[in-house]
Amino acid sequence: MDTTITYDKPFKTYNELIELLRERNVIITNDEATKELLSDLTYYDLINGYKNLYPYDENDKFTIPIPFYEFYSLHTFDTLINNIIFKYILLIEKSLKSKISYTVSENYGVETKLNNYNTPTDYLNRKNYRNNAQRDNILSQIKESTIKSKDESIRHYINNHNHLPCWILINGISFGLTIKWYNILKPVNKDYVCENIVHNEDLTLDQKKEFLNKGLTILRRYRNNIAHGHKVFTGNIKEELPKNQVLIVSNGLISNKDYLNGIGKNDLFAVIIIMATLLNKRYKDMFLFEIINILEGFEKLELSTGKGILEILSLPNDFIDKLKQLKEK
């Protein structure tokens, strides 16, 4: 019995991939340069990752000729933007962890028993947190994650000190679990975190809490998308920033009409607004400077479809000017 399988996606050499590209209506002017790029970036990431930006038929052939360099330019832009955003999300994560550990330590001490859930002096004791359905499970996740952690500072404190302070433990847990920890804080502790991480005095405390809750969720999802290779051009985040806070935080740069058209809800503009609000002034200026630099570098890139970078991202034509104004606020 013949068990030979004909694979629908067989291996192809670089020469075969180049031939396939030409069959798909991709213009290649330098075979050797194309091979070099295909050896650094997979065909799937480079071509299929951006094919939805172009019209194509049922056979995956583009209905207009597309120069190969366009795919590389899109990938370069995508990589540069996402690297900047990822870097500054890490700073926001560190800031959130610092503020949680400070208020927890100040109010509930510096000791935790990883294998005991009822020690009165334990800062992870359930009595120190809001009584909701998720509380006990989240506290268990924090302890279990710490027990399994290979973080050097955590292992050092467990092996060489008589307690494991919160500011050490929290550095060994994920961003997602940190957000869950924040969500079960008692109101007084949550107030402290909000007041010190949301840098906008025009928002009420309740508005800050709602903005931070939605903002952290969006940043976590965006960070996960980056980590899994998702493109900045493909938005699949469902959470939305609340309209009132977007209008206040953007200080007139986003209008009610803009918001209703999706600008500032959960797009790239929303991500930038969140980060500019949660970063301190020094980091905010650095972040916006880097983002503006990249956008200006690619602003004149026009695809074969006639669309530019901003239009592809569903951003307004004056987006760069808006970011410059945001930087000055």
Tokens of 281: 């002034």
Q: Contacts from 145-152 at CB under 8 Å and sequence distance 24+?
A: 145/172, 145/173, 145/174, 145/177, 146/114, 146/172, 146/173, 147/114, 147/115, 149/173
CB burial string 174-201: b at 16+ within 10 A, e below = ebeebbbbbbbbbeebbebbbeebbbbe
Angle of the 68-108 helix axis to the 281-298 helix axis, nearest 10: 170
CB burial string 256-282: b at 16+ within 10 A, e below = eebbeeebbbbbbbbbbbbbbbbbeee
Q: What is the pLDDT along the chain (329 residues), one digit of tens a residue?
A: 456 777 777 899 999 999 999 999 999 999 999 999 999 999 988 998 899 999 999 999 999 999 999 999 999 999 999 999 999 999 999 999 999 999 999 999 999 998 887 889 999 999 999 998 999 999 999 999 999 999 999 999 999 999 999 999 999 999 999 999 999 999 999 999 999 999 999 999 999 999 999 999 999 999 998 888 778 876 678 899 999 999 999 988 999 999 999 999 999 999 999 999 999 999 999 999 999 999 999 999 999 999 999 999 888 899 999 999 988 77
Q: Cα–Cα–Cα angle for 119, 121, 125, nearest 5°? A: 60
pTM for this predicted structure: 0.92
Torsion sign (Cα): 89, 93, 98, 100: positive
SS (H, E, C) 51-89: HHHCCECCCCCECCCEEHHHHHHHHHHHHHHHHHHHHHH
